Amino acid sequence: MSRFRKATIFAAGKVRGRPIEIDANIALKDILDIIYKNGIALMRGIIRLRKMVILGKNIELSGRNKLKLGRGVVIRDYSKLSCAGVEGIQFGDGVSIGAFCMLSVSGSIADLGAGIRIGNNVGIGDFSHIGGAGLVTIGDDTIIGPYFSVHPENHRFQDLEILIRHQGVIRQGIAVGTNCWIGTKVSILDGAKVGDGCVIAAGAVVKGTFAANSIIAGVPAKVIGMRYAKD
């Protein structure tokens, strides 16, 4: 590997806050193109947020005083962060948010939501939606596919004499542990608690409590296996 290539990779790693591994087969010009585009996005983050954040184009930010950012955060194009709420939105170090994502703590200024806490080195795929009405926590090193959907709130509907939209809501919150792998198009519903090390299959609808290292699938989601340490 040439010195210039090594220096380029090293510089990119300094921005992200951790070493970056690059396949030896990728051409240097492609690496430079990626770094150039991320460099522009980094300048955008420095100008808009006064932090070393890779900020994509056409990002919508509101409630910025309730946004807390760790080091090396990436927010890709056309995403929307609505941070107004009790705790707002908190990102750890090395968080990556895909393009066209929406993170919204509060649906109404009349009833502020709790917040969204995302740990270190969490990656969330494109077109994901995370509500924060009830507190949502996602642990360190969890990786999440596109079209992820999180709903920490339920409408009351028992009274037939009152419109459902006038009956209020229940908020239990949602907790996802560390080191989980969540597939594409997974929905997690209010009250769910997913333990550390769980794997959730694509398309699952998750509600309830799941022990650490469970393999989860289905609608509604059930445990179909367990991850075990090697002997």
pLDDT value, residue 18: 62
Using 50, 70 and 90 to split pLDDT, how confident is the model at 27?
confident
40: β partners: none
pTM, entire model: 0.87
Reported as a single tens digit per residue, the pLDDT across 144-170 is: 999 999 999 999 999 999 999 999 899
- Return the C-alpha torsion angle 195, 198, 201, 204, nearest 10: 0
In the chain the first and final C-alpha atoms are separated, in Å, by 38
115 alpha carbon, distance to own chain's centre:
13
- Beta carbons within 10 angstroms of residue 82's beta carbon: 22
Architecture of the structural domain at 56-226: 3 Solenoid (2.160)
> What does the domain layout of the chain look like in residue ranges?
1-51, 56-226
pLDDT at 118 > cutoff 80: yes
pLDDT value, residue 7: 54
Mean pLDDT estimate for the chain: 91
Three-point CA angle 103, 109, 112, nearest 5° = 65
Distance, in Å, from the CA atom of 61 to the CA atom of 42, rounded to the nearest integer, reads: 16
Average pLDDT over residues 200-206: 98
Tokens of 167: 């009956």
pLDDT at 200 > cutoff 80: yes
